[in-house]
Structure 1
Amino acid sequence: MVIEKEYKFYAAHRNEQLEDKCSNLHGHRYGLKCLFEVERNGSYTTLFGDFDAKIEPLLKNNYDHGMLIHTADPLYQTLLDHCERTGEKLRLKVFDAPTTVENLAFMLFSEITEMGFRLVGIEVRETDTSVLQYSREDWVADCRDRSRTQCKPTVAKGT
């Protein structure tokens, strides 16, 4: 059986590797649809609240109203220096690759899987008209990719 749950969060990002409007700092109201594979144990499989209890805090504490940032983006070090100099704490979600919707899907899939949930796939909505569908097979392939410096996501310390 598959249970579907949807979530939303706001985050800023930029893709420093592009030479178009997306290289500028901007934000999105992201939509996340999770497709959980579950097995019935008696009269029900899983309470919907069991998903929310773990995923909503993940999104609220690490993504919502934060900035997705690639470690190789020159802006990353500038932001770290700013935080050190001023004592300001910015919510930075650190990526080992550019902050594309594909890499965001990889990051979210990894974190949700680490919580013990079995995902069939996720959909990440970047705009009203742009949605990425990301499957378990996509995630397995990304984890096997030797160019990845991490398969387990991290959060910047001290920010």
Structure 2
Amino acid sequence: MLIQKDYKFYAAHRNEELCDKCRNLHGHRYGVSCFFEVERQGALTTLFGDFDDKIEPHLKQNYDHGMLINGSDPLYATLRDHEQRTGEKFRLNVFSAPTTVENLAHKLFGEITEMGFRMQRIEVRETDTSVVTYTHKDWLADNRDPGRLGGEPAPQEA
């Protein structure tokens, strides 16, 4: 059986590797739909609040009104330098690859799975008309070959 839970958060990002409008710093109201595999053992499988108790605080603390940024983006070093010089702190969520919606789905899938939930898939809406559906199969493939994320290339086997 599947349980679907929906969440949202606001965050800034940029795709520094692109040569279009998305290279500029901008923000989105991200929508996240999580699809959990649960086992029915009687009338109730899982309380919806069990998901919310872990996922909502995680999104609020690590994503909401923060900035998603690739650790190799030159802007990241500039922001860190600003923090050190001024004492001002930003909510930076550092990625090891470009901050695409596909990579956001990969990151969220892993973080929510680490909370102990069995995810079948996650849908991440970057805009009202643009949605990425990311499955458990996608997550396994990306973990086998991190080069798929567009960060550092996967090491070659000898």
TM-score, L = length of structure 2: 0.92
Distance (Å, rounded) in 1 between the aligned partners of 2:78 and 2:33: 33
Residue matched to 1:154? none
Cα distance, 1:106 vs structure 2: 0.3
Aligned residues: 150
Would you say 1:41 and 2:50 are equivalent positions? Answer: no
Residue matched to 2:138? 138
Residue matched to 1:69? 69
Distance (Å, rounded) in 1 between the aligned partners of 2:62 and 2:41: 32
* 3-state DSSP of counterpart to 1:3: strand
Cα distance, 1:146 vs structure 2: 4.5
Distance (Å, rounded) in 2 between the aligned partners of 1:54 and 1:76: 28
* 3-state DSSP of counterpart to 1:39: coil
Would you say 1:6 and 2:6 are equivalent positions? Answer: yes
Cα distance, 1:42 vs structure 2: 2.6
Instruction: Give the letter for the 2:105 counterpart.
Output: A
Distance (Å, rounded) in 1 between the aligned partners of 2:62 and 2:34: 17
- Deviations along 1:3-36, one digit per CA (max 9) or x if unpaired, are 0000000000000000000000000000000000
Cα distance, 1:43 vs structure 2: 2.0
Residue matched to 1:157? none
Residue matched to 2:58? 58
Instruction: Give the letter for the 2:59 counterpart.
Output: L
Q: Identity rate of aligned residues, in percent?
A: 71
Instruction: Give the letter for the 2:40 counterpart.
Output: R
Distance (Å, rounded) in 1 between the aligned partners of 2:106 and 2:42: 33
Would you say 1:117 and 2:117 are equivalent positions? Answer: yes
From the superposition, tell whether residues 146 and 35 of structure 1 become closer, same or farther in structure 2 (CA, over 3 Å): closer
* 3-state DSSP of counterpart to 1:107: helix
TM-score, L = length of structure 1: 0.92
Q: CA RMSD in A?
A: 1.3
Would you say 1:26 and 2:21 are equivalent positions? Answer: no
Residue matched to 2:78? 78
Residue matched to 2:156? none
Gaps of 5+ in 1: 151-159
Runs of 4+ aligned structure 1 residues displaced above 6 Å come to none
